[in-house]
Amino acid sequence: MLALSLTVPMRFSYTVCTGLMTGAHTVIFLFFRKRRYLKRIATLHDALGIPRDYGTARLIPAQMEAGGLMSIGPDIYQREQRLVPKAAAAWQSMKDSASAESVELQVVSAYRSVDYQEGIIRRKLGNGQVLEEILRVSAAPGYSEHHTGRAVDITTPGYPVLEEEFEESEAFSWLTESAGEFGFRMSFPRGNPHSVAYEPWHWAWRD
């Protein structure tokens, strides 16, 4: 009985210590992973001419690229789009609920990698657009909510894609009233503090 009474605390202590060590290792891993990511983003911003204080000046946090994405089906251009599982489930529920009220929600874009976002910026620069104007409508690589796999750009039939006219649609009215029930909210309303243009089509899920 004495041996048993000593063994139980030792095993308990070992389990607790192992758990603490595993937790500490996870924190350290995530710290260095984020540091490497931010270094990569800083190097990319230098190459694109994006100011080093982009995030702090605009009150926009860096956004890590998501993993474990799942398909939400094709967008309006027949490209497969993906979100993280919980956001994907919320999107499907919201889309079905809108459809039940004769409102059609369509995806224009969901998850985007840093490389994809870089391509957007480079194409616009190549077309002669000024960087400051580009950054009013397109987030710098590493700072787009699309990296998180939780954001969707939405449209509806009969309206131009990614234009302010979307706010005149039944879909936008429905989203304004009901999207919050599914965890979605519009990220960039008029007068937002991020120096980002009004985007009535861009909605992000938050758990």
User: Is residue 80 within a helix (H) or strand (E), and if so which, with residue range?
Assistant: strand 80-83
Q: Is residue 31 domain-shared with residue 64, that is, in the same domain?
A: no
pLDDT mean over 159-188? 98
Q: Is residue 23 domain-shared with residue 66, that is, in the same domain?
A: no
Q: Is residue 93 domain-shared with residue 15, that is, in the same domain?
A: no
Percentage of residues of the chain with pLDDT beyond 90: 83
Q: Is residue 66 domain-shared with residue 88, that is, in the same domain?
A: yes
What 8-state DSSP symbol labels residue 111?
-
CATH of the domain at 132: 3.30.1380.10
Q: What is the pLDDT at residue 22?
A: 65
pLDDT mean over 68-87? 98
pLDDT at 124 over 50: yes
Is there a domain that residue 187 lies in? yes
Q: What is the pLDDT at residue 205?
A: 98
Contact 89, 183 (CB under 8 A): no
Q: What is the pLDDT at residue 144?
A: 97
Q: Is residue 41 domain-shared with residue 72, that is, in the same domain?
A: no
Q: Is residue 122 domain-shared with residue 169, that is, in the same domain?
A: yes
Is there a domain that residue 54 lies in? no
Q: Is residue 72 domain-shared with residue 105, that is, in the same domain?
A: yes
Contact 95, 105 (CB under 8 A): yes
Domain count, the chain: 2
pLDDT mean over 128-153? 97
pLDDT at 17 over 80: no
- Between residues 40 and 15, which one has the greater pLDDT? 40
Q: What is the pLDDT of residues 195-205, one digit of tens each?
A: 999 999 999 99
Q: Is residue 31 domain-shared with residue 67, that is, in the same domain?
A: no
pLDDT mean over 14-32? 60
Percentage of residues of the chain with pLDDT beyond 70: 86
Q: Is residue 100 domain-shared with residue 187, that is, in the same domain?
A: yes
Is there a domain that residue 113 lies in? yes
Is there a domain that residue 118 lies in? yes
Sign of CA dihedral 98, 112, 132, 52: positive
Q: Is residue 98 domain-shared with residue 158, that is, in the same domain?
A: yes
Q: Which of 15-24, 33-42, 47-56, 134-143 has the lowest mean pLDDT?
A: 15-24
Q: Is residue 75 domain-shared with residue 99, that is, in the same domain?
A: yes
Q: Is residue 192 domain-shared with residue 124, that is, in the same domain?
A: yes
pLDDT mean over 127-150? 97
Instruction: Share the mean pLDDT of the chain.
Output: 90
Neighbouring residues of 161: CB distance < 8 A, sequence distance ≥ 6: 76, 108, 155, 201
Instruction: State the pLDDT confidence band at 38, using cuts at 50, 70 and 90.
Output: very high
Domain that holds residue 199: 59-205
